[in-house]
Each structure stands twice: as C-alpha cells, then as structure tokens.
Amino acid sequence: MDNLLLMELAEINEKLAGAQSEAAPKETESIFRDTPEELTEDVSKALEQDDFEKAEGSLTKTRYYSDIGEKIKLKKITL
C-alpha cells in the first residue's frame, strides 16, 4: 500500500469524523466519486496484461474506497 493513498484515506476519515454538517460528506463524496471507476479500469487493464500484482493493488484500493463510500453514506444519514 502506498503512503500517498494511506495519507489520502486518513485525511478523508478525519474530515468525516469531524463533520458537523452535510457539507463535509458532500465535498468528500464529490472528490471521491470518479475514483472507483478509474480503479475498475486499472484492474481490467492490469488483468489484460497479466499484471496480477498491479491488479491486486488496484483491488485493494477499491476496497478502501468502498469502505470510505460506506462511511460517507452513514455520515450523511446521521447529520
């Protein structure tokens, strides 16, 4: 897992944890929206090239972003 991704995820988690209004989840959601589609494309390309290590890395990132997506949904419900 690369450090840049971990820092980005930590920052998103901090924003969501400290959110007092719907603005933070909406802002995070707008930044986050295209990422899963890009990662899906990365996985497909890696598999086409038989680059299983890269595909695994992209799948791992996809899981992290999926978790963030769930946290955004939950935060929006609780606000």
Residue 8: which of 55, 58, 65 has the closest Cα?
65
**pLDDT given for residue 56 in this prediction:** 94
Residue 66 has pLDDT above 70, yes or no: yes
Angle at which helices 52-78 and 23-32 cross, to 10°: 160
**pLDDT given for residue 44 in this prediction:** 96
Report the chain's mean pLDDT, rounded to a whole number.
Answer: 85
pTM over 0.85: no
- Give the list of residues 6+ apart from residue 25 with CB closer than 8 angstroms, or none: 16, 19, 72, 75, 76, 79
pLDDT digit string, tens, across residues 1-37: 688 888 888 888 888 888 887 777 777 777 777 677 8
Domains, the chain, in order of start with CATH, read 3-78 (1.20.1280.20)
Residue 32: which of 12, 15, 57 has the closest Cα?
12
**pLDDT given for residue 54 in this prediction:** 94
